[in-house]
Structure 1
Amino acid sequence: MFRSTACRWHTMLWDKPAPRGKAVALAYRAGEAAPRVVAKGQGLIAQEILDRARASGVYVHESAELVNLLMQVDVDQHIPPQLYVTIAELLAWLYALEAGVSVPPPSAIVPPAQERSQEYSE
């Protein structure tokens, strides 16, 4: 389940169950340059982020590699350009689901290693 509107969307990404897991929350508003990291954490903090997301009907997507990359982005910062395509595919899938189209989830394709070598915080 997820909640989105024409103006914004939220999604959660996580790598494995807490207490050792990590979670990253993204949000996007129309007019923003790119989605932003709005919360991130490990262990009990990750579990709290996941619990709040699920209680609010926010979509939760599991992708260990993508979470590890997004953990490098500071809270309130936009995702780096290297992740635009990956996150856009996830967003397109969420919009399709919201429109009632049954499509398989995107495989979390991450950029090649040479594109990921740059620091991801802005």
Structure 2
Amino acid sequence: MKKFTNTKAVALKYKVYEENVPKVIAKGTGEIAKKIIQKAKKFDVPLFQNEELVNTLLNVQVNEEIPPKMYEAVVEVFIWLYNLEERAQLSK
């Protein structure tokens, strides 16, 4: 795992049958980002690293839906997550 001098993190939430659009539920830099990452690891939440995407998502307010211009980029994250979960199921 890469070590970043200025750690950044954004957590997204999306429930397929309850919400139309993913929301930012936590975001931060430095120590706040490290705590977000630690919490994700504690609960085995996969971490997706894309500096450009996180920089853009940091501009979205907490509990705010992501803007339409970001749909495509975030869909790629959810596809990655889906494929990761599918591979995990196949390896059981």
- Give the structure-1-normalised TM-score: 0.64
Q: How far, CA to CA, are the matches of 2:79 and 2:58 in structure 1?
A: 22
Task: Write the mapping of 1:56-95 to structure 2, written as runs, cut at 5 A.
Answer: 56-95=43-82
Higher RCO (C-alpha 8 Å, min separation 6): 2
Deviating above 4 A after TM superposition, structure 1's stretches of 4 or more consecutive aligned residues are 16-19
Q: How far, CA to CA, are the matches of 2:27 and 2:38 in structure 1?
A: 13
Task: Write the mapping of 1:1-122 to structure 2, written as runs, cut at 5 A.
Answer: 17=3, 20-30=6-16, 31-100=18-87
Unaligned regions of 5+ residues in structure 2, if any? Answer: none
- Secondary structure of 1:100's counterpart equals helix
Assess if the C-alpha contact under 8 Å between 1:18 and 1:47 holds in 2.
no
Equivalences, count: 86
- Greater helix percent: which structure? 2
- Greater strand percent: which structure? 1
- Secondary structure of 2:48's counterpart equals strand
Unaligned regions of 5+ residues in structure 1, if any? Answer: 1-15, 102-122
Identity value in percent? 42
- Give the structure-2-normalised TM-score: 0.84
